[in-house]
Copies of this chain bind each other. A is one copy, B any other.
Amino acid sequence: MPNTKPYEHTEKHFRASETVRDIVIGMSDGLTVPFALAAGLSGTLDTTATVVIAGIAEMAAGSIAMGLGGYLAARTDAEHYESELNREQWEIQHLPDRERQEVEDYLNGLGLEGTTLQQATDAICSDDKRWLDFMMKHELGLERPDPKRARNSSLTIGISYIVGGLIPLSPYMLIHQSRSALWVSIIVTLIALFVFGYAKGKFMGTNAWKSAAATTLTGGLAAGAAFLIARLIS
């Protein structure tokens, strides 16, 4: 839909901070999966002891899988960047004509032609570091990864997963009868998903009500499916 009031936004396109994104990633799954698992189990068990154990085991597993998995993936990305960087460096030194042609092709694709194209290509290839940066960013679409950021990001995602998971699980910790706990958990978690989805939409600069509806729907469907499947097989 067209943006009808662009003059209100002329200062800067909104970008959510990376920390907010990490909290969103962790909390989305944390609110959804432990909620759905607990709902599924509560349909087959009378008391909540096993539901709580399963929920907490899931939170431990999920936060480690997302956190540590994310961290190791980031380290792999960093190694990949390093190896591509070395390859490009080698190519610029040993196959300069081909690499120059790649810069020219790229600029040509932007609409540059004739002498402008030649001069622009010369400008970029006149400095080896600039040339290398250009190849990494434009030919390969790779940005230099930040290793500290990878560690912080993983920690934020893992902790957010646990914080999110505690919301649907707390009713099972406080109420012994599993059916009552299920209802409290459903109400509390759907409200939390809605509020979280709304806040997520606001932070991400998209339609907050739509985001609230989508987040609540995902959590609700996951819980509903887990509940039904657990009932069917038990």
Contacts and interface: CB of A to CB of B under 8 A. Distances in A.
Interface of A: 1-3, 6, 9-10, 13, 28-29, 32-33, 35-37, 40-41, 44-45, 49-50, 52-54, 56-58, 60-62, 64-66, 68-69, 72, 75-76, 79-80, 82-84, 86-87, 90-91, 94-95, 107, 110-113, 115-116, 119-120, 123-124, 126-127, 130, 134, 140, 201, 204-207, 210-211, 214-215, 217-219, 221-223, 225-227, 229-230, 233-234
Contacts of A134: 110
Contacts of A140: 13
A36 B65 contact: yes
Q: For the complex, would chain A's binding face be called helix, strand, loop or mixed by DSSP majority?
A: helix
B86 A3 contact: yes
Contact of A206 (B56, B65, B76, B205): B76
A110 B132 CA distance: 11
Given A76-B214, A84-B13, A223-B61, A56 B204 contact: no
B222 A64 contact: yes
